Structure formats: C-alpha cells, structure tokens
C-alpha cells in the first residue's frame, strides 16, 4: 500500500515526516531494528536475532508497498529514522480477513514526543480504509507507557499470556492481547 507522505509536529516542536518504508532503505531498517531491539526489553527479538539480509529486507519492504492491505510506515525527524509502524493482515480466509495486526517500535530518544500516537493513528485509519474491522496487538507486561497509548486509542485488553518472552538470563515476561474495534 502506498501512503502519501505527511508531516506532523511533535511535542518538542520538531516535525516528523511519515512515509512508506522504502526498499532502498533496507540496510537502514535492519540497523534500526537491531538497535531498537537492544534498547527495549519489550520487543520480540534480541539484537543478534536481526539477521535479515539486505536483499530479504528489500523484498519485504517491496511486498508491503505492493500490498493492497498491508503497509510499513517510517517516521523521520530531522532527516533521521525515528521509528516504524506496520499493519499486517491476520489472514486471507473469509473468517479472519477482517482482522489485522499492528506493531510499532521507536528509537528510545523519540519516545514521549507523540510520535507513537501519530504512527498508530495513521495506521489505524489505513486499516479502516482497507476494510478491517478489528486491529490487534500484543504488549509486554511492564510496558506501561505503550499500554497507556494503546488504551487511549481505544484498544482493550482481552487476555494475558504468561511467560510470553524468555530472556537470556532466564527471566520471563507475560504479554497482554489487546483489540480495537475499527
């Protein structure tokens, strides 16, 4: 899906440019994912598990751009990649094609500026335009900042999976399943 680039003001007065993740930014996206995976215990990967090739990432981004019902958006602040947010189908069967999955990650230095809300609001609007009637996401226990944003956007908690993530030191965290009717 192609999204027309937009600009939004952040709480700190900077401008965020939101646009499609582009295949030519594949290397940058891999480096970004590796870094944010190390900054946050709330993402699903460890930095060393981000082992996509540039060619594979380029293909993923191209497929998102060509998809009629999926997208990956990126946000840039002062020309620097600040985060991404994606929309993915939960299936192509009639019984599940009304559902989509939303995911987001930001560099830590761009948190608390309203950027996450901008990206999520944009993706949720696109989801509705695509005909989805239900958006779903998971939020790791302890990520109160994200959970607050999700709830303020209309997501409701529907379940909890204990021990969803297991860390290298053997500790675990559960995951809340959240849903928003579109």
Provide the pLDDT for residue 180.
98
Q: Is the pTM of this model over 0.75?
A: yes
pLDDT of residue 182: 97
- Nearest Cα residue to 153 out of 139, 163, 168, 165: 139
The pLDDT assigned to 16 comes to 98
Instruction: Write down the pLDDT at residue 54.
Output: 97
Q: In which residue ranges of the chain is pLDDT below 70?
A: none
| pLDDT on residue 151 | 98
Measured between its terminal Cα atoms, the distance across the chain in Å is: 19
Asked if 21 contacts 61 with a C-beta cutoff of 8 angstroms, the reply is yes
pLDDT value at residue 55: 97
Cα separation, 75 vs 10, in Å, equals 11
The pLDDT of residue 141 is 98
Q: What is the pLDDT of residue 176?
A: 98
**Which pLDDT value is given to residue 166?**
97
Under a CB-based contact definition with an 8 Å cutoff, are residues 16 and 77 in contact? yes
Per-residue pLDDT, 119? 98
Neighbouring-strand partners of residue 134: 99, 181
Alpha-carbon span 132 to 130, nearest angstrom: 6
């Amino acid at each position: 899906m192609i999204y027309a680039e937009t600009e939004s003001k952040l709480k700190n007065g900077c401008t965020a440019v939101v646009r499609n993740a582009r295949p030519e930014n594949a290397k940058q996206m891999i480096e970004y994912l590796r870094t944010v995976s190390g900054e946050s215990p709330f993402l699903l990967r460890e930095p060393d598990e981000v082992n996509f090739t540039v060619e594979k990432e380029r293909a993923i981004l191209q497929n998102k751009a060509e998809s009629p019902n999926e997208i990956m958006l990126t946000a840039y602040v002062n020309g620097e990649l600040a985060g991404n947010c994606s929309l993915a189908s939960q299936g192509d069967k009639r019984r599940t094609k009304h559902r989509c999955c939303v995911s987001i990650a930001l560099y830590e230095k761009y948190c608390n500026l309203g950027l996450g809300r901008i990206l999520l609001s944009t993706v949720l609007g696109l989801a509705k335009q695509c005909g989805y009637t239900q958006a779903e996401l998971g939020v790791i226990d302890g990520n109160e900042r994200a959970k607050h944003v999700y709830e303020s956007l209309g997501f409701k908690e529907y379940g909890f999976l204990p021990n969803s993530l297991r860390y290298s030191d053997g500790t675990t965290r559960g995951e809340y399943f959240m849903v928003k009717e579109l």
